[in-house]
Structure formats: C-alpha cells, structure tokens
C-alpha cells in the first residue's frame, strides 16, 4: 500500500539507513554505540525567521517554523529517511476500491500533550481547519478533492474521509508536515499536538523552548529533556555559536565553512542528499519564451556540472529539467540534457532570435540563487545569449510582480510528483510561475491522480514528465545537498540519501548526549 | 537659559513629528507590504487578501498614519503587524536590553577616553602619546563590525573560549545576571566610539595647555595637579562634551550592526526585523525612539557647553 516501498531496495546508500525506531543506535563510523542516554538540553540553531514566526502548525513559513512544527505536532502518516511512508497518528489508512473514500484508524493509546487521547473528532477538526474557505491554510489546495462536509466518525478510533473525485496524491498529503493533527478548538498560542516535545516558551524571532513529552508513543523517545530552537538570521553568527559551544547543532552551514568544521575534532558535518531544487522559471505565455525553441536553447546554455560546482561548491547533483527525483515515477530514463551552446545557437536562429537579449530577475530569496543567476549569465554567453540581471530585494521579488516575472528564479523543497505538480504546474496551482497550461499534460496528470494501480500511474506520470522535459517552463539544473553541522557531544542525527529538511528532518527525538 | 532649553525642546518635538512623517512615507515607498512580507513565497492571492484585511492594510496610507498618531496621543503604540503583539511590549524589552548595552559602553568609554586623551596630551611627543595616537587612528579607521569579528575570533571561537560569540539572552532573567553576553558587544562599541573622544580630548587639552591662562596659573606657582584639574580640564571639557554627545547619539543608531553581529536582542535587531517584515508600527516606534535619543543627547551637549562657557551662560 505504501508508495515507494521499492525505493529501499535500490541500495543507493553508502550510509546505513535506519528505520525510525531509534532504540538501536547507528553504527556509523566514529559514532558512539550503546543504548541512548536520557537527559540534557539540546540547543539548535536554525536559519532565518523573524518576529512574524508562528507556532501554527498549519501555516509554517520559515525553517524555524517548520522545525518547531515537526517537533510539536505529527501528521497522520510520517515520511521516513528512505522517503517511504510509515504510520504515525494514524495506525492505518485504507482507500476504498472506487478511490472515493479513505478509512483512517487512529493509533491505539496515542495522546495529545494535554493528556487526552486523539479522537476522530480531532482529525476532522484538523482537516476542516486547514481547508476553511474563509482562512485557507498553507496545504489547503492539496486537499481540494476532499469533501469538507463528508467526514464521518465510525467509532472511537476510526473515521472516514470522503473525496469528491478519486485522488491518490491524498496518501502523500496525509504525511504533509503542514497538516499536523491538533485537538478540537486548537489555539496556536497554546500549542498542543502529539509530537515528541511539548510547548514551554516561545519568543518570535528569538527562540523557543520545548520539553520532553513523557507520554510520547514511540517507546523511550525523545531522549533529551529539553529542546531549544534558536533563530539565527545571520550565517556567521550561527556558525560562531556552534564554534563557541553555545549550540549543539546548526542547520545550513555556509559552504565556505565546511572544511573548517570538518577539520575540527569536536564537530561533525552532516550531509544529506535531497530533491530540493532552485529552478529558473520561464513563462511560456510571453515573447520570446513562448517559443519552445527559445526555452530549449536556454536549457542547453547551462553547464549543469559547472553550476553544481560553482554555486553549490559541489554539494549537489545535476538535474534534467524535471523535479521530484525521489518519486517512484521519476523519469530517470530520459537522456541527460548537456551543455550545448552550438545547438542552442541554431535553435535560436531557427526561431528568429539570434543573439537573444533577455532580462533575468534574481533575488537572494534562498542560498545560492543570485550566484546561480550570475553563473548562468556567464555560461549563456557562449550561445550568444545576453542575459541582463535585474537584481531585486526579496520584498520586491514577492511584491506585486510575484508569479508574473517573465524569466526569474525560485526555490522548491522535496515533494512527491503529484503534490509538486499541484503546487506549481497546473492552472489551479498557487505557484504556477511558468504559467504552464498544457492540455495533454493536464490530462495525463488528471488521469494519474485517479489511478490507484502503481504501475499504470507511473507510466502516465512518466509521459507527463516527458512533456515537461520537451517543452516545460522550468530549467532544473540541479538538486541540492543539505549541509549541516553538529557537536560530537550529541549523536543520533543521521545523513540521508533522500532528505527533505535540514538536520535529519529536525528529528531531534532521536538525539542523545554522549 | 531656561528659555533656550524650552525653545530647544519645542524644536526637538517638531523634529520628532517630521521624522514620524518621513518614516511613514518612506515605508510606504518600500516595495511590498506586511502581508506579502509575512507570507513570503506562500503569498497566494486568497491568503493575501485575508491577511491584508486582518492587518487593515486595505486602508489608504494617510488614514493609517492618522490612526497611528491618534493612538499615540492616547499612549498606545499599536500592535505589531508581524505577530499581533502590542508594540510597547515588543519594543520595551528590546529597549531595556539596548539601554543596558549603551549604558555599559558609555560608562566605560567616556572616562576611559577622557583619561587617555588627557594623559596623551600631557605626554605630548613621547612614546605613550604616539601609541595612543596611532592606536586610536587605527581603531577609528576600522568599521565596528570588523572590530566585532576580530574580537569574536580572538575571544570566543578560535584562540580563546572566554566569552560567548552570540548573545543568547534568556528573557526571563535579568541581563546583568547573564553579563557574559554583554562583554564582547560592549567592548566592540567602546572600541568604536573611544578613538573619537580620545583624539578630541587630546587636541583640546593641548590647546588649553598652551593657552595664556594656564601659563599664568603655572607662573603663579600652582601645583601642576591643580592647574590641570581646576583650570585646564573644565575648559577642555566643553568641546569634548559635544563629541561625547554625538558619539552617544551615534551609539543609539550604530548599535544596529553590532547587535546584528552578536545576535543581541535589542532595538537594532528589532529595526532590521521591522523593516524586513514591513512592520510599520514597530518601525515607527523604534525610529522615534532613536530620534528621541539623538535630540536628547544634542540638547544635553548644548546645556553642558553652555554651563562650561561663562560667555554663553550669561548670554541672552
């Protein structure tokens, strides 16, 4: 039932992948072995955030928000290190044969932080809160197929969710970190979830303190008594705090610091591969990008290996203009697009756009974005393309022209294919930055969404990806690695081959002090 | 004299009013609004519309300014657009933290520079004077964040591990109880402002020591200590007070970079945050506060120079 079950067999990893049951510590090189020890205060430095930080699990904006959310709350299902799904608040989820309803069975004995058991009413309240049309929460559009009035309680631990149309992506959405299960009448100011840590204290833009939840359902976890999540807007302040021993772990180590940290005998670097991507976005409905030859020419004028080396200091892998590499349906068989300025030139000539001059809007919205624009500007010269960089501050980027820029950039996390497509590649998507409306593509994705059979669905999605590969609006040049760092005083954080978030997806419930 | 101060106070109030208008106008010119800043890349049109209505961003600018001004007269600074908490609460804690930092810096920097400047002047042309002159020149040439980074490198991350590199302040305890976090930021600010005061002190002291009334005092056979304390110092302190006031006023604004560097939860960090979030009420409150400190410091400097100068003291 769980999608992606085959992924674990691929044996990609050089690093032991563990299931989330953390009673057995990892035997990774240099890591201490033995049973986990209880106690201690774990201090973590996160990147970004500010006074608009929030504890509302359904509306996380920044990394500190996500980090807090993942430790206070839990969704129905949970995404493991190998990118497969496991049961969490829900013991099981089952779809009916016609694909129109899901039966959710709640884990026996699972408690909220206030000591009350999770009831079907709480799950229903959660899903209705997320999809409230008056105040739609961040994941609302992923639940568009859910019938808001069709929830029903079957017994004290079971409920049914009705869909307006079959939608297999719901299974992935059950594990969305932005749909943590909250009790009926949830107030984000007094946050209550089922996560491994309970709320103690929170100062927006500064730090938050959480305590060990002693009734947490995973046996023995978490190991530390207290978790402090500290905001750092400045990269060097974050690194300095680690070097001075003021925090045990930090996310997003600046690439320039990797060697310094690796050389320090008291610290460790934690690297994870992810499906995160920072694409160039080309609007397919404006001149000259409307012409598919111009888009392909731009895709051919990028030296992807150089891009990974220069922009990510080698901490990443090249990509092939498609996203969601961990999805079972990822079209890995399509030939890798390479740097070919000559082909780009002749495509542009055929399209009547020889010596193309084009403006690229760039903004430091995420690490390496502006650098990527600068490298592309250099590389595209060989194809006779003149790129004029228009560097704007983040306020302007997300201002009135957001999602309307002709040729710009963005950053995306790691999502399953159908979820990613719903977020950015359909007319109904909230972030369709390429203005990508392709009837054949939509037809394929629509069919795939309703196809319960894994193989059939994968074939449909491969065709959909081929269309994006042939004429889409994204230039996906690489997938980023996450590079974090932590002190050897702690252990339990593990590198991942299929990571999603920094610091082992903020899995602090498995961390203990050596 | 009192009339002069009253007049200065009125001008100060006018300045504050103009500043409030300017800040409001400038922040309206900033691209994007609080709703867009808060939602960032998740700013879909429907979510934007809901948030804008909640934050009253759909009202025209002048109306928002007037309601802000109205609130101010009833003693309220409004609510933060970023997180809905009262601005007074947010700004209050930060102001207290910054005030502690500024106070520590001023209390150390002022006497230190006056002593260093005087000493240097008395040892004119000798080794001590050269060391002080060169040292202050070098420090004056270094931007404060460079000084801060060097201090962090030396005292907390690389060479020694004496002091914390960043200020992780526990809000529930007094700042003085966690005084270790104050050391490096204070030292940075002291090193940033002292050179100017020291050099000014040295220059005016030299001038005074060369003046006729000091020669007269010496000729009368007064001991050198009395010449220095009774006659030279009071005359040298007037111009120096101006520089001190300017430096203290600079501290109020210049603390922004130092606070950012040390992640110190003060008004500087609050200011950066308020601009990023387009959080107008918080921004207004903080800028007004800094402007107020400027006005106050200048007023005090004027008063001190008047008091130390008999000609001005009796002037009408």
Q: What is the mean pLDDT of residues B257-277?
A: 84
Q: How far apart are CA B87 and CA B259, in angstroms?
A: 20
Name the band, by pLDDT with cuts 50, 70 and 90, for residue A311.
very high
Q: Spell out the residues 6+ positions from residue B271 whose beta carbon is closer than 8 angstroms to its own.
A: B256, B283, B286, B287, B290
Has residue A476 got a pLDDT over 70?
yes
Q: What is the mean pLDDT of residues B212-230?
A: 80
Chain B residues in contact with A246 (beta carbon < 8 A): 164-166, 168
Average pLDDT, chain B: 82
**pLDDT computed for residue A24 by the predictor:** 37
**pLDDT computed for residue B314 by the predictor:** 65
Is pTM beyond 0.95 here? no
Residues paired with A160 in a beta bridge: A103, A152
Of the ranges A465-474, B127-136, B169-178, which is most confident? Answer: A465-474
Of the ranges A116-125, B13-22, B145-154, B290-299, which is most confident? Answer: A116-125
Note whether A431 contacts B276, CB cutoff 8 Å: no
Has residue A145 got a pLDDT over 50?
yes
Chain B residues in contact with A237 (beta carbon < 8 A): 165-166, 260-263
Query: DSSP of B201-229, one letter per residue?
Result: HHHHHHHHHHSHHHHHHHHTT--HHHIII
Scan for tokens 């991942």, then name that residue.
A496
The helix/strand/coil state of A429 is: coil
The per-residue pLDDT for range A53-89, each reduced to its tens digit, is: 889 999 888 889 999 999 999 999 999 988 999 999 9
Has residue A377 got a pLDDT over 50?
yes
The per-residue pLDDT for range B172-191, each reduced to its tens digit, is: 777 777 777 888 888 899 99
Beta strand A407-409 with A267-277 is: unpaired
Chain A residues in contact with B41 (beta carbon < 8 A): 365, 398, 410-411, 431
Give the burial class of B23: count Cβ atoms within 10 A of its Cβ; 0-12 exposed, 13-18 middle, 19 or more buried: middle
Question: In this complex, how many residue pairs, one in chain A and one in chain B, have their CB atoms less than 8 Å apart?
Answer: 119
**pLDDT computed for residue A122 by the predictor:** 96
Has residue A127 got a pLDDT over 70?
yes
Has residue A124 got a pLDDT over 80?
yes
Q: How many residues does chain A have?
A: 514
**pLDDT computed for residue A457 by the predictor:** 92
Compute the C-alpha angle B32/B37/B42, nearest 5°. 110
**pLDDT computed for residue A9 by the predictor:** 31
Q: How far apart are CA A413 and CA A298, in angstroms?
A: 23
The per-residue pLDDT for range A489-508, each reduced to its tens digit, is: 999 999 988 888 999 999 99
Chain B residues in contact with A206 (beta carbon < 8 A): 169, 171, 265
Name the band, by pLDDT with cuts 50, 70 and 90, for residue A399.
confident
Q: What is the mean pLDDT of residues B215-237?
A: 80
**pLDDT computed for residue A14 by the predictor:** 32
Average pLDDT, chain A: 89
Q: How far apart are CA A215 and CA A197, in angstroms?
A: 10
**pLDDT computed for residue A33 by the predictor:** 64
**pLDDT computed for residue A155 by the predictor:** 94
Q: What is the mean pLDDT of residues A429-455?
A: 91
**Nearest CA distance, A134 vs chain B (angstrom):** 8
**pLDDT computed for residue A22 by the predictor:** 36
What percentage of chain A carries pLDDT values higher than 90? 71
CB atoms within 10 A of CB B207: 15
Name the band, by pLDDT with cuts 50, 70 and 90, for residue B315.
low
**pLDDT computed for residue A7 by the predictor:** 34
What percentage of chain A carries pLDDT values higher than 70? 94
Q: Where are the beta strands (DSSP E) in A64-147?
A: 77-79, 85-87, 90-95, 101-106
**pLDDT computed for residue B157 by the predictor:** 82
Note whether B36 contacts A398, CB cutoff 8 Å: yes
Spatial contact of A95 and A2, defined as CB atoms under 8 Å apart? no
- Please report how the helices B233-262 and B280-307 are oriented relative to each other, as an axis angle in degrees rounded to 10: 160
A278 reaches B (C-beta below 8 A): no
A364 reaches B (C-beta below 8 A): no
Residue of chain A whose Cα is closest to the Cα of B276: A395
Q: How far apart are CA B44 and CA B35, in angstroms?
A: 11
Q: How far apart are CA B129 and CA B117, in angstroms?
A: 9
- Residue ranges covered by each domain of chain B: 1-74, 87-312
Q: What is the mean pLDDT of residues B243-256?
A: 79
Has residue A157 got a pLDDT over 90?
yes
Phi-psi region of A452 (alpha: psi -120 to 50; beta: other; left: phi over 0): alpha
CB atoms within 10 A of CB A466: 17
Fold entry, domain B87-312: MetI-like fold (1.10.3720)
Q: How far apart are CA B303 and CA B299, in angstroms?
A: 6
Q: How far apart are CA A303 and CA A382, in angstroms?
A: 11
**pLDDT computed for residue A8 by the predictor:** 33
Name the band, by pLDDT with cuts 50, 70 and 90, for residue B312.
low
Nearest to B86 by CA among B95, B94, B77: B77
Q: Which of A233-237, A503-507, B47-51, B201-205 has the lowest mean pLDDT?
A: B47-51
Has residue A12 got a pLDDT over 70?
no
Note whether B156 contacts A240, CB cutoff 8 Å: yes
């Amino acid at each position: 039932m769980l999608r992606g079950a085959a992924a674990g067999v691929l044996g990609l990893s050089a690093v032991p992948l563990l299931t989330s049951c953390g009673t057995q510590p990892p035997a990774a090189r240099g890591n201490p072995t033995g049973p986990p020890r209880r106690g201690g205060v774990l201090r973590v430095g996160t990147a970004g955030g500010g006074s608009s930080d929030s504890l509302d699990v359904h509306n996380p904006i920044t990394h500190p928000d996500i980090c807090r959310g993942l430790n206070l709350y839990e969704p129905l299902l949970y995404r493991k290190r190998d990118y497969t799904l496991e049961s969490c608040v829900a013991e099981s989820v089952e779809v009916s044969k016609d694909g129109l309803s899901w039966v959710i069975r709640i884990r026996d004995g699972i408690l909220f932080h206030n000591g009350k058991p999770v009831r079907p009413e709480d799950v229903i309240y959660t899903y209705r809160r997320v999809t409230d049309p008056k105040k739609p929460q961040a994941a609302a559009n992923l639940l568009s197929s859910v019938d808001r009035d069709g929830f029903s309680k079957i017994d004290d631990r079971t409920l049914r969710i009705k869909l307006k149309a079959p939608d297999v992506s719901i299974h992935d959405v059950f594990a969305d970190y932005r749909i943590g299960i909250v009790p009926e009448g949830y107030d984000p100011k007094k946050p209550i979830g089922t996560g491994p840590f309970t709320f103690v204290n929170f100062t927006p833009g500064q730090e938050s303190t959480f305590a060990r939840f002693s009734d947490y359902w995973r046996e023995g976890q978490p190991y530390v008594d207290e978790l402090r999540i500290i905001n750092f807007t400045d990269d060097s302040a974050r690194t300095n705090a680690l070097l001075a021993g003021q925090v045990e772990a930090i996310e997003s180590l600046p690439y320039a610091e990797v060697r310094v940290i690796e050389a320090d005998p008291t610290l460790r670097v934690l690297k994870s591969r992810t499906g995160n991507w920072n694409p160039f976005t080309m609007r397919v409905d404006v001149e000259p990008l409307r012409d598919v030859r111009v888009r392909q020419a731009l895709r051919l004028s990028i030296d992807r290996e150089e891009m990974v080396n220069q922009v990510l200091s080698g901490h990443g892998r090249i990509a092939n203009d498609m996203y969601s590499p961990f999805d079972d349906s990822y079209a890995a068989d399509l030939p890798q697009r390479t740097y070919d300025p000559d082909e780009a030139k002749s495509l542009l000539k055929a399209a009547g756009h020889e010596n193309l001059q084009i403006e690229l809007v760039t903004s430091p919205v995420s690490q390496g974005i502006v650098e990527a624009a600068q490298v592309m500007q250099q590389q595209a010269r060989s194809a006779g393309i003149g790129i004029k960089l228009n560097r704007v501050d983040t306020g302007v980027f997300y201002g009135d022209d957001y999602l309307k820029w002709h040729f710009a950039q963005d950053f995306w996390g790691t999502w399953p294919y159908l979820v990613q497509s719903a977020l950015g590649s359909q007319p109904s998507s909230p972030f369709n930055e390429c203005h990508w409306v392709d009837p054949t593509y939509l037809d394929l994705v629509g069919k795939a969404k309703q196809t319960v059979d894994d193989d059939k669905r994968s074939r449909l999605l491969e065709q959909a990806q081929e269309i994006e590969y042939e004429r889409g609006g994204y230039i996906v040049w690489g997938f980023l690695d996450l590079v974090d760092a932590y002190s050897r005083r702690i252990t339990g954080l593990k590198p991942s081959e299929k990571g999603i978030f920094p610091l082992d997806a903020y899995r602090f419930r498995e961390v203990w002090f050596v | 004299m009192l009339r002069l101060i009253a007049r200065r106070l009125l001008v100060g109030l006018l300045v504050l009013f103009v500043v409030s208008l300017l800040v409001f106008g400038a922040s309206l010119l900033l691209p994007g609004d609080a709703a867009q800043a808060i939602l960032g890349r998740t700013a879909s049109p429907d979510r934007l519309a809901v948030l804008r209505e909640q934050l009253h961003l759909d009202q025209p600018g002048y109306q928002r300014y007037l309601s802000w001004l109205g609130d101010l007269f009833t003693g309220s600074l409004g609510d933060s657009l970023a997180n809905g908490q009262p601005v007074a609460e947010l700004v209050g804690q930060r102001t207290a933290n910054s005030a502690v930092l500024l106070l520590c810096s001023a209390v150390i920097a002022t006497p230190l520079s006056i002593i260093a400047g005087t000493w240097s002047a008395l040892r004119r042309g000798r080794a001590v004077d050269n060391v002080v002159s060169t040292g202050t020149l070098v420090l004056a040439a270094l931007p404060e964040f460079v000084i801060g980074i060097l201090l962090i490198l030396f005292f907390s991350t690389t060479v020694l591990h004496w002091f914390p590199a960043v200020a992780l302040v526990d809000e529930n305890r007094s700042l003085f109880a966690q005084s270790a976090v104050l050391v490096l930021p204070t030292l940075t600010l002291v090193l940033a402002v002292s050179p100017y005061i020291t050099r000014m002190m040295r220059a005016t002291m030299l001038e005074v020591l060369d003046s006729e009334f000091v020669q007269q005092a010496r000729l009368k056979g007064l001991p050198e200590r009395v010449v220095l304390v009774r006659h030279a110092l009071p005359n040298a302190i007037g111009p120096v007070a101006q520089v001190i006031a300017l430096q203290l006023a600079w501290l109020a604004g210049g603390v922004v970079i130092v606070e950012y560097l040390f992640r110190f939860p003060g008004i500087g960090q609050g200011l950066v945050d308020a601009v990023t979030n387009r959080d107008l009420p918080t921004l207004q409150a903080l800028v007004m506060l800094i402007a107020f400190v400027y006005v106050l410091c200048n007023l005090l400097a004027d008063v001190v120079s008047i008091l130390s100068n008999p000609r001005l003291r009796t002037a009408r």
